[in-house]
Amino acid sequence: MNLDDIDRLDRAIADGRVTFIDGSHEVRPGLTLHLAADSHTFGSQWIEVASPEGPYVVASDSVVSYANLERMWPPGYHQGNCWNLLETYGRIKRLVGENRLERGSGGA
């Protein structure tokens, strides 16, 4: 961890350049942040991106590997609650559609 980054973040907060998000938040039409509270890690978020082909998800740290999501199987290590993590997997799968999970996965 670079302590200078913490100082920069503190300055950005003091300058009003940081917005803290609690829960889901539409950044702009077609781009929504979703909180995956107490799942893989405590403040995980995933991003919903609207497209003409349907919604895509940038899962970030909410899904460690495609296999975890596909099999509804949490990774062996996580800091949060595995039941919340499974609920996050379910939310993602319901959003994109069970038969559309492979889009953008690169065949992984």
Structural domain spans, the chain: 22-98
Instruction: Say what the pLDDT of residue 41 is.
Output: 78
Tell me, letter by letter, the H, E, C secondary structure of 25-56.
EEEECCEEEEECCCCCCCCCEEEEECCCCCCE
> For residue 108, is pLDDT > 50?
no
pTM: 0.78
> For residue 21, is pLDDT > 60?
yes
- Cβ atoms of 104 and 54 within 8 Å: the answer is no
Instruction: Say what the pLDDT of residue 97 is.
Output: 86
Of 20 and 98, the one with more pLDDT: 20
> For residue 106, is pLDDT > 50?
no
